[in-house]
Structure formats: C-alpha cells, structure tokens
Structure 1
Amino acid sequence: MAIRFGTSGWRAVISDEFTFNNVKRVAQAIAEFIKSTGGNQVIVARDTRFMTERYAQIVSEVMAGNGIKVLLPENPTPTPVVSFAIRSLELSGGINITASHNPPEYCGIKFNPSNGAPAAPDTTKKIEDIIDKIEPDKIHAMSLSKASNEGLFEIIDPKPQYIKALSEIVDFERIKAGGLRVICDLLYGAAINYLDELCQNLCADCNVVHNYRNAYFGGDRPEPDEDRLREYSTLVRDGGWDIVIATDGDADRFGIMDDTGSYVKPNEIIALLAHHLYVNKNMIGPVARSISTSHAVDAVASEFNQASLETPVGFKYLANMILSENAVIAGEESGGLSIQNHTP
C-alpha cells in the first residue's frame, strides 16, 4: 500500500489505511530522514482523536529505537505549539498525530522539520520514497521505559513557554482593558487548556464551549466554518456577546463571528490583521496568500506600498513565505494564518 502525503501530512481512515503497522512504517521513514540530516531530537505530539495516545507511543518507540530522543507533551497539543517547540528548543523536527479538520474516522501524521514549518514537498517526497522501501524487519523500536533510562525519552509541558512568547507579540493588557465578552468554542480539539485559558484570563466574560475530549467531535468535522458557527448567531445577538472564536481539531485554523452574529470570512480577517500589523505594529514586508484566497489582503498591502505573494494551496507554501520573504502575514481562505514574528 502506497502512503502519500497531501497538502498537510498523511491522513487516512483509522483501521483501514491508518493502522499500527503503517504508522510504524511512516515513523521509521521519518526517523531515517531525520538521521540523514544529522538530527537527533524531536517532539511527538497529538490531538484529541481516537487512540492518539497509542499512536504517539508507537511513533515515540520507533524514534527511540533509531537513537532519536523524544520530547512528548503529556496532553493534546496545538499544531502551532509544536512548531514553536521545534524552533525554541532547536529540535530536529516534530511529529504530530492529527487529522486536523477531517471527519472523526480519520487520523494522520504531520511532520515539521527543524525550521518548524510544515514539511515541503521535496521533504515529503523523500520520506515517501523511504516508506516504499521499508521492510517490516527493518523497523526499529524501543520501549519507552528503556528509552527513558537511556536518555531518549522525556515528558515535557511546552505550554508555559509558548504562552510567555505569545505575550511578547500580543498586547495582553490591551485585550484585558477592552472588557470583551467572548464565546470560545474549542470543538473538542487540541486548543483545550490553551485558547480557553487565555480567553478566561484576558476577557471580562468568557463562555467556553466543547472544552472536553470527544473523539466524535459532536458527530461532525472539527471545522470552525460558517455552518458550524451558525448555531451561535442568535445567542450572540440576544446575549450581547462581542465575538465568537473557534478553532479546528489541531488548532491551526480559526473561525470568527462578530457581535452582530455574522460569520466573518477568513479572507476578511486576514486583510484586517494585515492592516493592524502595518498600522499598529509597524511591521514591514509583503503579504502572502494562497491562490484560492481573495485579493482583499493585496489591497491592504498596496496601501502600504508592499508586495503581495501568491502560493499554491497548502500552508507549507505560505510558511515558506514567512521564512524566506519575511512576509508580515500569510493566510488562506480555509482559516490558516501566521505572522512575521510567530511560528511559520
């Protein structure tokens, strides 16, 4: 069975193609790729999907069996935090067990190399070529108890350092002063204990929704799109809420509803944030968007005499614009974005 990476990692249906044996194959291939680059330490994280603890254990055992040290967060971890940990701890890469916004019967593996960005096509092609050649008896694994004794396994908590770094680029005190009333929908995903804690600490009133693990995601995809957020429209208008903020299964996509109960499209949010970064943060540089994203952000960049960069669909291409072109903001219509001084 050929395993191929898509726009963001490898995703497949659990117990169909996403099996223990295939997870081991992918993990072994990533381990061999990491070693070929001279790497020796990774973070292995997961979202809230069915059996992600077990899959993360399998991946960790294969990494350790190949002499690669594993840093394992104890709790589900947002994808941006994985990227942050790779860069801040100077790791060789990160492996995230997640199928992002896909339906609950799916699981997946995302790989980010040492730059913290989603793996580029040339990297995933190398990993795919290794997978195709792997024989079952060539997969190396080590129990985590043995790995721990040999210094190849460690439980970590990346949250405190990530929140501290976030406070250095986001004006927490300004948000507190705003007295906002926020509905925070975590969609049962990896943002639990991250986004909800931030909103509770920074906002005057916070209604946290779906802040517990449900591997079925309430019977739908964990996608914070207009259809999923429509249920809040009347509540927002009648209850005087200022904003609804939602995230997808691995917390790298957003959904926003304003104080009128209207869904605000990611295209508009990206343009608004670009204007904010130019005006209030005095950032300089181009903007980047995928080919399927509206040109609204281009108009903002033009007002500040900055260029607009267009990429194929997939955040791996946008991340490269932050790294190579120092883009002020990079975003796509599906609700993924990052900014110049955050993780790619």
Structure 2
Amino acid sequence: MELYPTQDGFLGEIAKGFTFAQVSRLAAGFGERARAEGIDQVVVAHDTRFLAKEMAEEAAGVLAGLGLKAFLLKGPVPLPLFAFTLGELEAAGFYLSASRKPARYQGVKLRLGPGKPLSGQEVPLPEKVPEARGNFQLLDRKRAYLEHLAGNAGQGATGKKGVVYLDTLGGAGGGLLPGVFGLLGLEAELRELHPLPHPLFYGVDPDPKPENLPTLLALMRAVEPPAVGLALDGDADRLAALLPGGEVLPPAEVLKALEEALEGKEVRGDGQGSYLFPWHLPEPDPFLAALLLLGKLL
C-alpha cells in the first residue's frame, strides 16, 4: 500500500506505505516547502499509534537537519494542543495521526501555520533524504493550553453536579480534561474511560460512533440523571455526546446546545462531531465543546 495524499497531509498503512523511510521523505519535503514560505520554526507532535513517538523523533531530526528550529511536543498530544502551540510560536506543524482510521493506519497532518492546512499534493517528496539529523527541543505546553481552555470555557458548568463519563478510546485526548476541571473548580464528578494511551485503541476503531463505545453505552443506559457521556476520536478533534438511557445526541443537537451556551459567540459544526470556535483556536476543540455542553446537559 502506498502513501495517499489527503487534503492536509498523507495517510498510509503502518509498515507498508507508512514507514520510517517515508516519514523521513515527508519531513524533508515539508521542511523544504516551509523554508520556501519563509518559515523557520516547526512543531512536531504525535498521537498514540504504534511507533508514533519514534517516527515523530525521526521527523523532528530531519527538519532540524534542514536548518529549521524544530520542537517536539511531549506527547501523545491532542490536535487542539498542537494547534495552540502553533499559534503561540507562529510555527509550521507536522502532526503524526490518522485521526479516526483503524489502528493499522498512520498519517501526518501538515500545517504551514495555525489553521493553515497543506495538501499532500503540494508537498514535494525527495527520492533521497539528507543524511544530517539536527537537534530538536522537547516542549511541553499542556499547562498553557489548559489555562487557555479554562479561560474560554466560561462559568456555565460551575455549580453543576452529576457524573461525566469521558471515553477517550486510548487516544491522544486522555488525561487532559481532569486538569481543566481542577482549574475551573467544577463540582461534577469526571470519570475517564480508557484514558491511557493504547496503540490498538482497546480493540475498537478510534471513531466515537455507537459501535465503538460499548462500555460508555452500557454505563449511560444504567445511569440516572444528572449525567452525561462524552467520547473523543483518536486525535481528539471530534466529540460525541450521550444522554442517560444511552441516547446519542445528534451533531445538529450538540451544535444547537453549544450555540445556546455561547449566547452569540461563533461556533461551527461539520455534522460529524467537529466543533470549531474561531475566537478560541483555528482548529476544532472538543474539550471546549465538552465544557460548554456540561452547562446545558447536566
């Protein structure tokens, strides 16, 4: 299987089309494109898939070897944190993730800046990759992102009681929402399901559809209100919401609830669980969506 260009990068099957050699080519081609655009900094990040960390280290070394100032985010990293860091540093981005695809796939999302996706068809792939590898800087911006997130969440969930189940499916979104609960002093009880990184996503596809959420569905069918169930995809840029009794809230209803919570501030939905808040980040953020929903659903 070969690498396939996507609207914002490439996709392939691990150990077939998506190999270390191909990652090196992708990084070299992207680095040259970034330099041609006058960009001198690039942030590399990765999800929880097999060998994602090691592939990210290889990409960061190639990019640094091209003379770019390369940062590797301490990971795994959800897409909103990656987007936040690009904005902070005004940098290009190289994010290893296959999002909702099954575990055997890996991909890369390319950004020429915050919210500036680069199609894979626009990236030259050199036949020969420079041998030099440069030094990159390990970066941890989780706390800064959490503070940004808490600052934009408002007070809608303050004082709300009940249980919040969050199924992260072993993806990159695990372990993040508890920190925001702490910063906001929320009283609702947060119970994370499958929060630890898992390259096989606990045996399901990392797509928050009902067929991939057996544990969350069982809990929500048995729980009494007030309670809400939430689920993320593999790179944490999509959100599903469930009500007591196991009812899955359609994306149109989620968007309506977000609009009511925001009272005029802009939110955009794509009908597939992605919610963008342009005043917050240039990429979708399911964590902000989750916090806003708690004020309406608990």
Query: Secondary structure of the residue that 2:213 maps to in structure 1?
Result: helix
Specify the code of the residue in structure 1 equivalent to 2:133. Answer: M
Q: CA deviation at 1:207?
A: 1.7
Tell me what 2:230 maps to. 245
Tell me what 1:76 maps to. 76
Tell me what 1:135 maps to. 127
Alignment of 1:34-183 (within 5 A): 34-91=34-91, 93-114=92-113, 116-121=114-119, 124-127=120-123, 130-131=124-125, 134-136=126-128, 138-143=129-134, 147=135, 153-171=136-154, 173-183=155-165
One of 170, 173, 183 as aligned partner of 1:191:
173
Q: Are 1:341 and 2:258 counterparts?
A: no
Do the aligned residues in 2 keep the contact of 1:224 with 1:254 (CA within 8 Å)? Answer: yes
Tell me what 1:265 maps to. 250
Tell me what 1:275 maps to. 260
Specify the code of the residue in structure 1 equivalent to 2:149. Answer: L
Deviations 1:34-55 (A, max 9, x none): 0001111111100111001110
Q: CA separation of 1:156/1:244 partners in 2, compared to 1, >3 Å: closer, same or farther? A: same
Q: CA separation of 1:56/1:160 partners in 2, compared to 1, >3 Å: closer, same or farther? A: same
Q: CA separation of 1:13/1:196 partners in 2, compared to 1, >3 Å: closer, same or farther? A: farther
Do the aligned residues in 2 keep the contact of 1:184 with 1:199 (CA within 8 Å)? Answer: no
Separation in structure 1 between the aligned mates of residue 75 and residue 257 of structure 2, nearest angstrom: 33
Separation in structure 2 between the aligned mates of residue 32 and residue 73 of structure 1, nearest angstrom: 21
Do the aligned residues in 2 keep the contact of 1:44 with 1:71 (CA within 8 Å)? Answer: yes
Query: Matched residue pairs, number?
Result: 279
- Tell me the percent identity: 28
Query: TM-score, with normalisation over the residues of structure 1?
Result: 0.76
Query: Secondary structure of the residue that 1:72 maps to in structure 2?
Result: strand
Specify the code of the residue in structure 1 equivalent to 2:196. Answer: Y
Tell me what 2:288 maps to. none
Q: CA deviation at 1:140?
A: 4.6
Do the aligned residues in 1 keep the contact of 2:175 with 2:196 (CA within 8 Å)? Answer: no
Query: TM-score, with normalisation over the residues of structure 2?
Result: 0.87
Separation in structure 1 between the aligned mates of residue 20 and residue 219 of structure 2, nearest angstrom: 43
- Mean alpha-carbon deviation: is it higher for 328-337 or for 97-106? 328-337
Larger helix proportion, structure 1 or 2? Answer: 1
- Mean alpha-carbon deviation: is it higher for 50-59 or for 187-196? 187-196
Separation in structure 2 between the aligned mates of residue 42 and residue 95 of structure 1, nearest angstrom: 7
Query: Secondary structure of the residue that 1:84 maps to in structure 2?
Result: helix
Specify the code of the residue in structure 2 equivalent to 1:154. Answer: Q
Do the aligned residues in 1 keep the contact of 2:97 with 2:106 (CA within 8 Å)? Answer: yes
Specify the code of the residue in structure 1 equivalent to 2:248. Answer: Y
- Mean alpha-carbon deviation: is it higher for 58-67 or for 259-268? 259-268
Q: CA deviation at 1:189?
A: 0.7
Do the aligned residues in 1 keep the contact of 2:172 with 2:234 (CA within 8 Å)? Answer: yes
Q: CA separation of 1:65/1:226 partners in 2, compared to 1, >3 Å: closer, same or farther? A: same
Query: Secondary structure of the residue that 2:149 maps to in structure 1?
Result: helix
Do the aligned residues in 1 keep the contact of 2:103 with 2:201 (CA within 8 Å)? Answer: yes
Do the aligned residues in 1 keep the contact of 2:47 with 2:76 (CA within 8 Å)? Answer: yes
Specify the code of the residue in structure 1 equivalent to 2:77. Answer: T
Q: CA deviation at 1:2?
A: 6.7
Separation in structure 1 between the aligned mates of residue 102 and residue 181 of structure 2, nearest angstrom: 27
Tell me what 1:227 maps to. 211
Separation in structure 2 between the aligned mates of residue 196 and residue 118 of structure 1, nearest angstrom: 30
